[in-house]
Amino acid sequence: MQKSTQDYLKTIYSLSKNGEMVSNTDISQKLDVAPSSVTEMLKKLAEAGYIKYSPYHGSSLTEIGLKEAQKITRKHRLLESFLSKVLGIGNDKVHHEACQMEHSLSDEAEESLCRLLKHPDTCPDDNKTIPACDLPFSNCEECIQLHQKGLEQVGKRDKNLISIRDLKSGTFGKISFIRGEHKVLQRLLDMGLTPGTKIQVVKIAPMDGPVEVAVRGSKLAIGKDIACNVFVELE
């Protein structure tokens, strides 16, 4: 996939939430590209099936577009974490550096980077959630155990996943992946947040406050540190 295509998909992903339309103006300002060039590119992306585009209304990602956008966004934010935590580069510079590196980072290197960093949940410069990997695991411990045997035959996850933190009120979903080591997994299991469990987002507090979800007839207030590590398939 061309760098420009990845940049546009990543931009739409960062500006949208829950499939909301993103205006051409916002994309133009974010990428610092002329509006006419943005319109031309969006038409090409729509023809390729990556987005739904409506003149005067904006663009939204299709399932295929969302998968590609999450992939490149994950690589970008993992690289930001690596540059900051391992190399000690300032948070004011990590975004630019990651933009230069993300397009050449292989999937294998991405997986290794995640394990090296111990499955980070947010990136350092703007604290946004790092998307889940596309490996078909329900938690990180499965990945660690199977990696020792080789991941070549594991395959990829079919469904796009979104963290609870990035959902909006009223959204229904089914928990499919929990990120983190054993203590994180156990804490969530104790709360009844297990893979396969259906939830509804009831309320999202402002200013990175807790997310209230309905689970098995009960309501739970989940802090952002947990919410960004629980990923669901939308229903």
Neighbours of 1 (CB within 10 A): 12
Q: What is the rounded distance in angstroms from the CA atom of residue 220 to the CA atom of residue 174?
A: 15
Q: Between 209 and 53, name the one with better pLDDT.
A: 53
Please tell me the distance from the alpha carbon of residue 106 to that of residue 202, in angstroms, as a whole number: 38
Task: Looking at mean pLDDT, say which of 70-74, 138-142, 163-167, 208-212 comes out highest.
Answer: 70-74
Average pLDDT of span 5-15: 95
Q: To which residue do tokens 């999937």 refer?
A: 107
pLDDT for 231: 95
Which stretches does DSSP call E strand in the chain? 51-54, 58-61, 162-163, 172-178, 198-204, 211-215, 218-222, 230-234
pLDDT at 183: 78
Residue 186: burial class (beta carbons within 10 Å; 0-12, 13-18, 19+): exposed
| Percent above pLDDT 90 for the chain | 61
Tens digit of each residue's pLDDT (9 = 90 or more) over 114-123: 999 999 999 9
Q: Mean pLDDT of all residues in the chain?
A: 90
Residue 150 has pLDDT above 70, yes or no: no
Assess whether pLDDT exceeds 90 at residue 180: no
Q: How much is the pTM?
A: 0.90
Mean pLDDT of 56-77: 94
Instruction: Tell me how many degrees the CA angle 51-56-60 measures, rounded to the nearest 5.
Output: 20
